[in-house]
Amino acid sequence: MEHFWQNEFIQIAAYYSVVILCLVVFLAAFELVTKYKNWEEIKKGNMAVAMATGGKMFGIANIFRHAIQEHTSVVAMVGWGVFGFALLIGGYFIFEFLTPKFNVDEEIEKDNRAVGFISMVISIGLSYIVGAGI
């Protein structure tokens, strides 16, 4: 059985499957902390929500990319991925705190693409910082 898990194809499939599962769970967590419903807004054509959600997806994937490169077990990769996600969600709250003149969620829900774009760039940028630390 040990030989089975040492096969590169099996390892890639395992990482892929676990990251997809984590991505779904983490996006559901983001859905809980935002005031809008991501997929409903995207279905309506809300580009600000699409950009913010895309940034979150890229950020999560980028963190897992670094975790896979630096750690040899799926368990360690998930641990670092969860830690990185916690830092990303913390960055989301800091972004909201640092913009007292407007509410980030409300602006994104109103399709304010400038706010959606900044949210996307923050998620992507922070993922590189977290990834470098992993």
Low-confidence ranges of the chain (pLDDT < 50): none
3-state class percentages of the chain: helix first, strand second, coil last, to nearest 5: 85, 0, 15
Q: What is the pLDDT of residue 122?
A: 96
For the chain, the domains span 2-133
The whole-model pTM stands at 0.89
Q: What is the pLDDT of residue 6?
A: 79
Using CA atoms, how far residue 96 sits from 30, 59, 112, in Å, is: 14, 18, 15
